[in-house]
Amino acid sequence: MLKTKFLISLVLTITILVSQVGAVFAAPALQGPTPITGTIQRITRGTDINTGITTVIVTMLDKNELSQMLRISLETAITLGLVTLDGHGNPLINNMALGQSIEIEPTTVIPDEEVKRNPVGSALATFFLGIADYDSIMDAHDKGVGFGVIAEALWLTRELHGDSSDFKALILVRQTGDFDALGYDSIKNWAQLRKAILDGKKIGNLGTVMSNKDNGNESNQDKNKDKNKDKNNNGNGNGNGNGNGNNK
């Protein structure tokens, strides 16, 4: 009888221990992030202006009828069936997924840092890529320089075939008025500096940048004009030559 009670107690003890251990191992799984669920309303592609990396923005309606936008990688979008690849490997939006339910793991969502960027500063950084980056442009703006002046300094830097250091130098002399630092003799103000750098050429302005139209590439236009002149001169020369040949 005692043996039977002992065996029963032992079995109960082991059962309780096993259940407790099982609960401990199961706990981490219960603490995992809850998938973001909803109905797909829209799928669009976006490209990071700094890295050129393409991501996918999913607009979805959650269970509370609230719309939210989530940015995920192109690879994740392909895995979820939101994007397909054509025969050449180019990504295509899968419109068949619209209206379908979806679950997105929170760990795959990319924070949308572009929302925090100043749109004018971003436009300037994109337009003058290789001359000045976003941080340099915003640093000048934070120091009190208007975007119009920043755009003008960037145009002048491009005309000088300069880089970020030249841009910063132009901004500095614009603020301090110390034009001697640039090595230009007898220049006393910004207007004279513009005239010395441009030498009669025209450049764009902030409006040109914001409309994404590069009208300031005067050097290419001048080259085209020179080519046309050369063609006309060659044509005239051939005419004279033919005339001389005919006279012979």
Question: What is the architecture of the domain spanning 36-113?
Answer: Beta Barrel (2.40)
CB count, 10 Å around CB of 137?
A: 28
Comparing 8 with 207, the larger pLDDT belongs to: 207
pLDDT-above-70 percentage for the chain: 67
| pLDDT for 232 beyond 50 | no
Higher pLDDT, 210 or 48: 210
Q: Note the pLDDT tens digit of each residue in 102-149.
A: 999 999 998 865 446 788 888 898 889 889 988 899 999 999 999 999
Buried b (16+ CB within 10 A) or exposed e, 8-42: eeeeeeeeeeeeeeeeeeeeeeeeeeeebebbbee
| Coil, helix or strand at residue 218 | helix
Task: Give pLDDT tens digits for 47-80.
Answer: 765 555 678 999 999 888 888 889 898 889 999 9
- For the segment 81-95, the average pLDDT, to the nearest whole number, is 88
Give the mean pLDDT of 155-167: 93
Nearest to 35 by CA among 55, 60, 56, 57: 60
Sequence ranges of the chain with CATH classification 2.40.50: 36-113
